[in-house]
Chain A
Amino acid sequence: MTETSLLVGPFNRVEGDLEIRLDVTDGKVSAAYTNSPLFRGFERILLGKPPTEALTITPRICGICSISQSAAAARALADAAGATPAPEGEKTAALLHAVENLADHVTHFNMFFMPDFARPDYAGKPWHDRAVDRFTAAQGSALRVAMDARARLLHIVGLLGGKWPHTLAIQPGGVTRAPTMRDKVRISADLTAFRRYLEQQLFGGSVEEFEALTTVDALADWGRGDVALFMEIARDLDLAHSGQGAGRYLSFGAYPLPNGPIWQAGTWTNGIEGPLDTSGIAEDISHAWMLGDAAHPSQGMTVPDVDMSADAYSWCKAPRLNGLGYETGALARQVVDGHPLARDLAKQGGVLARVGGRLLEIARTQIAMESILADIDPKAPFMDRAKLPANGEGMGLVEAARGSLGHWIRIENGAIASYQIIAPTTWNFSPRDAGGTPGPVEAALVGAPVREGEETPLSVQHIVRSFDPCMVCTVH
Chain B
Amino acid sequence: MNILWLQSAGCGGCTMSLLCAENPNVIELLEGAGLSFLWHPSLSIESGAQVRKILNDVESGEQPLDILCIEGSIVRGPNGTGKYHVLAGTGRSMLDWVQSLSKKARHVVAVGTCATYGGVTSAGENPSDAVGVQYEGAHRGGALPADFTSVSGLPVINVAGCPTHPDWVTETLLLLAEDALGEDQLDGYGRPKFYADNLVHHACPKNEFYEYKASATKLSEIGCMMEHLGCVGTQAVGDCNIRGWNGEGSCTRAGYPCINCTAPEFEEPGHAFTETPKFAGIPVGLPSDMPKAWFMALASLSKAATPRRIEVNATSDRITVPPSLKAPKS
Contact = CB atoms under 8 A, between A and B. Distances in A.
A362 B87 CA distance: 33
Central interface residue in B51, B83, B219, by most chain A CB within 10 Å? B219
Given A44-B125, A53-B273, A139-B27, A60 B88 contact: no
Interface residues on A, range: 35 or more
Given A39-B128, A57-B120, A150 B19 contact: yes
A13 B47 contact: yes
Contacts of B245: 158, 162-164
Interface size class of B (residues with CB under 8 A): 35 or more
Main secondary structure of the interface of B (DSSP, over half): loop
B44 interface: yes
Contact of A159 (B37, B127, B248): B248
A47 B124 contact: yes
A461 B47 CA distance: 9
A149 to B, nearest CB: 10
B318 A178 contact: yes
B218 interface: yes
Contacts, number: 273
Given A63-B14, A168-B251, A17 B256 contact: no
Interface stretch (B3-11, B131-139, B186-194, B292-300): B3-11
B19 to A, nearest CB: 6
Contacts of B75: 38-40
A373 interface: no
B105 interface: no
Contacts of B43: 13, 111, 137-138
A12 B54 CA distance: 13
Contacts of B162: 60, 166
Interface of A: 7-13, 15-19, 35, 37-41, 44-50, 52-53, 55-57, 60-64, 66, 107, 111-112, 115-116, 118-119, 136-139, 143-144, 147-148, 150-152, 154-155, 157-169, 171, 174-178, 180, 304, 306, 308, 315, 381-383, 385, 455-456, 461, 472
Given A154-B20, A178-B220, A383-B317, 13 more contacts: A11-B48, A35-B88, A40-B130, A61-B11, A66-B13, A151-B20, A151-B21, A152-B247, A162-B254, A163-B17, A164-B16, A180-B318, A472-B12
Interface of B: 7, 9-17, 19-22, 25-28, 37, 39-52, 75, 77-79, 83-90, 119-121, 123-128, 130, 162-163, 218-220, 240, 244-257, 259, 261, 267, 272-274, 317-318
13 contacts: A9-B90, A10-B89, A35-B88, A38-B84, A63-B10, A64-B13, A107-B19, A150-B19, A177-B253, A180-B318, A306-B78, A455-B49, A472-B11
